[in-house]
Structure 1
Amino acid sequence: MTNRGPLSDQDTQTKALEVLERHSKKRGLARLMPFLGPAFVVSVAYMDPGNFATNIQSGAQFGYLLIWVVLASSLIAMLIQSLSAKLGIATGKSLPEVVRQEYRPWVRYFYWIQAELAAIATDLAEFIGAALGFHLLMGIPLVWGGVLAAITTFALLILQRYGFRPLEAAISVLVGVIALAYIFELFFSHPDLGLIQGFIPRFSGSDSILLAVGILGATVMPHVIYLHSALTEQRIPVQDPALKRRLLRFSNVDVVVALSIASFVNMAMLVAAAAVFHKTGRTDIADITTAYQTLTPLLGPLASAAFAVALLASGLSSTTVGTMAGQLVMQGFVGFSIPLWVRRLVTLIPSFVVILLGLDPTQVLVISQVVLSFAIPFALIPLLLFTNSPRLMGELANSKLVQALGWLIAALIIGLNLYLVIQSF
């Protein structure tokens, strides 16, 4: 994930061309396989334990009302992640590296500090979710669930030593586990046709807006905006504009497939909560542990077990990816790094503090997602500025339509956050 500078080696370019040509002639999945992976890695951030918290609260309290927010957030995420991947392909640099290249030192350090704070909030949600998964499945104290989660994430991070493919494969398997678990949840929960009304944009009071901002913060994650550009910057290094365009097409397919799965999982979370809790009058369900315990008498032990397995897979995969992103942020913005295991140990401290103090894990998750929504513009605005620039992007610079959509999305996110601040005071 480090920038190795512009490639001038003719052999490397020839090899990249051979890869693109060889797989362009194939059909179906065989054609796409070498290019699938980066979006699946970042997709776990779009179905992390923070999503469980906000979607359960949204479904239990407001029924199907906010399905449209999940869908809109997922479409926004697709555009943003495609731009992040495009930046890596076009420039051969990650977003933090381009910030370091283009901005003054004090700006770079500001970006680094706020990105690290966002990473802490991210990891807090993800690691606690993994700890909760072990706690619910095995019936052990939450602190021991945290210990098991720490050991497992260290094991997953070791895979990175063997190249990007083993880790991508492990993350993709965990994504599949989450999706399958929620297919079971939908089967058990029997949602009704009323869910169709959830696709009509509307709110119901300030509480629904707060949860909508939380959904947005949980769905559009700033750390993976940084990460995706790093995963594509040197994956198949090419310099020819035509090859970059071809590679970008494959990358966009990767984004659409991976984030469509994430979108399904998020909507399934909300729909299941609405069908099970809101429909039975349990609108007070706002806690992951309570949701798990309530599922057993309502739907049976298999439903609650599927919920806990999905939560565990979500927490383990997303906290692993979050650690990778944190390393990238430091390396890209300020040009130095620390051993990955040291970063993992340091980022465990806030999570264990929350666990040992006995704070409500679900409330911590929801608050962390709202905090993350405030960090989104700091990643999104430079991404738009850079991908709009022909000087940096060449022929891959954003079209006028994409520029307009990008700035509209940025304005929407900033506007929702300002409204949240005004409502809070």
Structure 2
Amino acid sequence: MQTSDNNKKSLFGPATLVTAAFIGPGTVVTASLAGANFGYALIWALVFSVAATMILQEMAARLGIVTGRGLGENLRQLVQNPLLRWPLLLLVVVAIVIGNSAYQGGNISGAALGADALFADSAAVMQWKNYSSVNPWALLLGLVAAVVLWFGQYKLIERCLIALVILMSLAFIGTMLLTRPDLAALLKGAFWPAIPTGAVLSVVALIGTTVVPYSLFLHAAAAAQKWPHNNVAPQVAIRAARQDIAVAIPLGGLISIAIVSTAATAFFGREQQLDNVAQLAQALTPMFGSAATWCLALGLMAAGLSSAITAPLAAAYALAGVLNKPLDLKQSVFRATWIFIVLCGVVLSSLGIRPVNVIWFAQVANGILLPLICLCLLLAMNHSVLGQYRNNRWQNGLGLVVLLVSLLLSGRSLALAFALL
């Protein structure tokens, strides 16, 4: 088998797609509210969620590398009983494809919010708003996502998302430094777990925005494409994948911590309450100067755009795998899936539609899907097809801990969804 210097030395790889996926507007909102309401006290939940994500994503990457297939294809092979297989595969389609269609509206809306804060005074933007109620940024950002996915080979998409993750890192960490956080309180919050009164749902939400099922489909398929099992020795690819995970996922956690810290510095302990991210951006200017506001807005735009690319991509990988179609960006089912999701996101965002019913449905489906996918992944990682690359006892033990956490997240998602009834 051949190996390449790129595979040995690349600092960023498929794990960057996972970081780009979970650092979206939802994470920005959740982390901002956690910081504003509870200060630095819940940063330990982010530390835990990063560790849990690394455990699951390492398994997903190893599965993709050794089998040469995505998670959807492996689920087809793993679950042979048709009474179990088709309900499971249908749930995957519903939760990931339909769910990501709804969440795509939030991704584009979040990116548009950041772009509007950066370029609100532009003459062209103001003229557009005078003649149309449609959000111009939603159309433009949806078009950018579509162009990247339409013309992009995997390498190009990976490079675009690496650039966005680096931009998010500089923007959010730069904002944190400009707001001068309390480092002693930050370190205590990271390594001394505590749950203040009323913070239980915030803890679960912080974990839930990081440990998400569709990232497992994304990572397994991307790793299979990054390191083709016929061209790269599995042990070499797995080593590179672990190095990639060790860099990209903690970087995503650092971004989340920076957002919590910024909100804690700006709002915690003050009479003013934080209701949304736009309010946080507005509050930074009088307190810390326009540079902090610009950094936050730039990070929000990058977060929304990165998730607006990865959500359709993950859904397409999942559906293609479930239908046993090639994981080819130009394959018709693959392309039709991400086009549908991008269009849904643009319509929902540009027209200001609130997809409450669809999001409710997605919450229920995702609440059921997460522990099921965790369980299936653990079963797959102990299958004989993996040979020497099967899970060892430590990996299974850590996986079971994450499975228990996923059950907690499942209960929270279902409780929130039925609370909307």
The normalised TM-score by structure 1 is 0.84
- Mapping of residues 153-164 of structure 1, within 5 Å: 153-160=145-152, 163-164=153-154
| Cα pair distance change 1:42/1:416, threshold 3 Å | closer
Aligned counterpart, 1:115: 96
1-structure distance, mates of 2:236, 2:337:
39
Per the alignment, residue 399 of structure 2 pairs with 406
Deviation at 1:127, TM superposition (A): 2.0
**Shift in Å at residue 359 of structure 1?**
5.1
Count, aligned residues: 393
Q: 1:380 aligns with which of 363, 374, 381?
A: 374
Q: 2:397 corresponds to which letter in structure 1?
A: A
- Whether 1:59 aligns to 2:14 is no
CA drift at 1:366: 12
How far apart are residue 120 of structure 1 and its match?
Answer: 2.8
> Which position in structure 2 is the counterpart of 1:93?
69
- Give the fraction of aligned pairs with identical amino acids, expressed as a percent: 25
> Is 1:269 matched with 2:259?
yes
Unaligned runs of 5+ in 2: 326-331
Looking at structure 2, the residues matched to 98 and 289 of structure 1 have their Cα atoms a distance apart, in angstroms, of 42
Query: Which residue in 1 is equivalent to 2:408?
Result: 415
Q: How does 1:117-136 map to 2 (within 5 A)?
A: 117-136=98-117
State the Cα deviation string for residues 320-346 of structure 1 (Å, max 9, x = none): 111111111111112355362663344
Change (3 A) 1:422 1:223: closer
1:415 CA displacement: 2.6
Aligned to 1:9: none
Partner residue, 1:70: 46
1:134, 1:149 within 8 Å by CA — same for their partners in 2?
Answer: no
Task: Tell me which of 201, 214, 229 is aligned to 1:223.
Answer: 214
Q: 1:177 to 1:368 in 2, by over 3 A?
A: farther
- Counterparts in 2 of 1:334 and 1:367: CA distance versus 1, 3 Å: closer
2:388 counterpart (374, 381, 395): 395
Q: CA deviation at 1:110?
A: 3.1
Q: How big is the shift at 1:164?
A: 2.0
| Contact 2:312-2:337 at 8 Å conserved across structures | no
Q: What is the CA RMSD across the aligned residues, in angstroms?
A: 2.9
Distance change (3 Å), C-alpha of 1:99 and 1:358: closer
Aligned pair partner of 2:9 in 7, 32, 36? 32
1:364-388: CA deviations, max 9, x gaps?
9999889856542232221111012
Deviations 1:385-408 (Å, cap 9, x if unpaired)? 10122x121100000111011011
Q: Are 1:191 and 2:181 matched, yes or no?
A: yes
- Cα distance, 1:231 vs structure 2: 1.0
> Counterpart of 1:312?
301
Does 2:208 align with 1:205?
Answer: no
Deviation at 1:358, TM superposition (A): 6.3
Q: Counterpart amino acid of 1:356?
A: L
Q: Judge conservation of contact 2:284–2:290 (CA < 8 Å) in 1.
A: yes
Is the 8 Å Cα contact of residues 49 and 365 (structure 1) preserved in structure 2?
Answer: no
- Paired with 1:352 and 1:290, the residues of 2 have a C-alpha distance of 25
Does structure 1 retain, via aligned residues, the 8 Å contact 2:61–2:219?
yes
Q: CA offset at residue 31 of structure 1?
A: 4.2
Separation in 2, partners of 1:331, 1:61:
42
Counterpart Cα distance in 2 of 1:365 and 1:298: 36
SS state at 1:338 partner:
helix
Q: Are 1:213 and 1:373, in contact at CA under 8 Å, matched by a contact in 2?
A: no
CA distance in 2, matches of 1:150, 1:225: 24
State the shift of 1:286 in Å: 2.7
Please tell me whether the aligned partners of residues 178 and 314 of structure 1 are also in contact (alpha carbons under 8 angstroms): yes
Q: Any conservation in 2 of the 1:118–1:222 contact (CA below 8 Å)?
A: no
For the 8 Å contact 1:83–1:383, the answer to whether it is kept is yes
**Corresponding residue of 1:233:** 224
1:303 to 292, 295, 298: 292
The amino acid of 2:86's aligned partner reads W
CA gap of 1:238–1:344, structure 2 versus 1, over 3 A, is closer
Q: Deviations over 1:169-213 (max 9, x none)?
A: 11111111111112221221111122222122121234x221222
AA of the residue aligned to 2:297: A
Cross-structure match for 1:257: 247
Aligned-partner residue type, residue 334 of structure 1 = L
State yes or no: 1:340 paired with 2:332: no
Range moving further from structure 2, 343-352 or 221-230: 343-352
In structure 1, which of residues 155, 166, 177 is the aligned counterpart of residue 167 of structure 2?
177
- The residue that corresponds to 1:330 in the other structure is 319
